Amino acid sequence: MDKIILKSTDTASCTLPEPDLKIRMGEIRSTLFQNILRKEELTDGFKIHFEFNKENFQNLTDFILFESVCCSFMNFEVRIEPKEKSLVFKLEVNENQRELLKSYVANL
45: left (phi over 0), alpha (psi -120 to 50) or beta: left
pLDDT above 70 covers a percentage of the chain that reads 84
- The answer, as to whether pTM is greater than 0.85, is no
Please report the pLDDT score of residue 7 as a whole number. Answer: 41
Cα(7)–Cα(3) distance, integer angstroms: 12
Instruction: Categorize the per-residue pLDDT at 11 as very low, low, confident or very high, splitting at 50, 70 and 90.
Output: low
User: What number is the average pLDDT over the span 39-51?
Assistant: 92
More confident of the two residues 3 and 85: 85
Please report the pLDDT score of residue 18 as a whole number. Answer: 75
* Antiparallel, parallel or unpaired: β 45-51 and 36-42: antiparallel
Please report the pLDDT score of residue 57 as a whole number. Answer: 93
